[in-house]
Structure 1
């Protein structure tokens, strides 16, 4: 993966998750955890949320991550739009990820402890990287 993609994913923890169902788009500001191979994002929601219902109806998503939290030295905002696929997690995968979320993002305690919470994965499949308003690069992951 391009070093710039890995850097923006590692240095940030917020993304915009875009889902769709019945022809209606829906965007959600989310906190994510990044997998060790930098190709999967882990997110938490509730099973009854619109985003989770949309994911079940249509597993294809778009995810935006940008550098607004950590601007570059030149002042450019770098953004990456990823295409990805929703992946439910096996029960054995959930506890370690939930524990990591709780340690790194204590502000998510209410949703992590909610009886209806669900942790899921988004497998990143392709990207469009914008470095400022003009410079662009895209590819498959």
Structure 2
């Protein structure tokens, strides 16, 4: 499902217990090892500030664009912010842009950060009642 789509809803939350979650529609790409999701965001965005405070996130990917409502599947992905090795940054940005060439100008701005999220768990919802959970940690 992650290969079939390239958009997800990203949920971030600041570290404060009373702060509400923040959701953002995001373009993403998988890294070559399929262990990380790659995203881009302005460094002055709320989601970036939330990630700097609280590295745990959740993403939602679904099949509503390709399936009838009765057959929609939804994948909840748990992930954690991962460091991007400086020597890998250019290659990861190129991989992201190969999937999203329309974002080249945006992703090339000096204030746009490349975000690398390490996948930690998946929950697949198939219909209303059928759920499967897999932890990677």
TM-score scaled by length of structure 1: 0.85
| 1:21-79 deviations in Å (ceiling 9; x for gaps) | 1222100110111123332101111111110110000001111111123327x951111
Q: C-alpha distance in 1, partners of 2:95/2:118?
A: 19
Secondary structure of 2:52's aligned partner: helix
Aligned to 1:94: 89
In the TM superposition, residue 84 of structure 1 has moved relative to its aligned partner by 1.1
Asked if 2 retains the 8 angstrom alpha-carbon contact of 1:66 and 1:78, the reply is yes
Aligned to 1:13: 6
Secondary structure of 1:61's aligned partner: strand
In the TM superposition, residue 127 of structure 1 has moved relative to its aligned partner by 1.6
Secondary structure of 1:118's aligned partner: strand
Secondary structure of 1:55's aligned partner: helix
In the TM superposition, residue 108 of structure 1 has moved relative to its aligned partner by 1.0
Q: C-alpha distance in 2, partners of 1:88/1:119?
A: 10
Task: After superposing the two structures, state which structure 1 stretch, 80-89 or 48-57, moved more.
Answer: 80-89
> How many pairs does the alignment contain?
133
Aligned to 1:70: 66
Secondary structure of 2:2's aligned partner: helix
1:84 to 74, 79, 83: 79
Gaps of 5+ in 2: none
1:26 to 22, 31, 47: 22
RMSD: 1.7
Gaps of 5+ in 1: 1-7
Asked if 2 retains the 8 angstrom alpha-carbon contact of 1:11 and 1:70, the reply is no
Aligned to 1:132: 127
Would you say 1:50 and 2:63 are equivalent positions? no
